[in-house]
Amino acid sequence: MALFTKMYDMALRWSRHPHAERYLATLSFTESSFFPIPPDVMLAPMSMAKPKQAWRFALITTVASVLGGVFGYFIGALFYQQLLPVFEQLGWMSHFATIQEWFVKWGVMAVIVAGFTPIPYKIFTIASGLAGMALLPFILASCVGRGARFFLVAGLMAWGGEAMENRVRGIVEWLGWGVVALIGGFIAYKTL
């Protein structure tokens, strides 16, 4: 079954769509505050398909992601009391306690690291608002972390171009099933 190859081909088709930049911006905004799929899934194929526009795509992704992060920040800041029971029910309170410790220990560096790494950035945007982090340092840290990540992804994909697109297509099944196995192993570990 070529499940991930079909998904990869679909992402490449979407990346060439006339409204691809709008979709990329929407995905970037929503991922920073509540949606689970990272914008890299569109940014990477768009940068491979149109390498000369890769920096533009990275900029769109960064700006929309930071704006979505600000939205997440305000979700945390304004709906603190309403969110606490939900987070407790989901078992997320220990995660937020850890993140708040990181804010105390590392300050804005925690947001920069979260913005760059695969750690779910939305958790940090909401937690930044919950913790009452100053908005301007949050925005600047988000610009640095998210910008570094998205410009790196776009640059690598543009550099690889069509050859990279073909190489990724050749191993996408292994990558996809590897991620599924890691997630399944993690869930099994946490539930056992």
The per-residue pLDDT for range 65-74, each reduced to its tens digit, is 999 999 999 9
CA triplet 104, 107, 113: central angle to 5 degrees?
A: 120
pTM: 0.79
pLDDT confidence of residue 38: 84
DSSP, residue by residue, 58-84 = HHHHHHHHHHHHHHHHHHHHHSHHHHH
CB 138 within 8 A of CB 110: no
CB 66 within 8 A of CB 32: yes
Share the mean pLDDT of the chain: 85
Q: Which ranges of the chain have pLDDT less than 70?
A: 1, 186, 190-192
List, for residues 82-124, the tens digit of each pLDDT value.
Answer: 877 887 887 777 877 787 788 878 888 888 988 888 778 888 8
- Distance in angstroms (rounded) separating the CA atoms of residues 21 and 29: 12
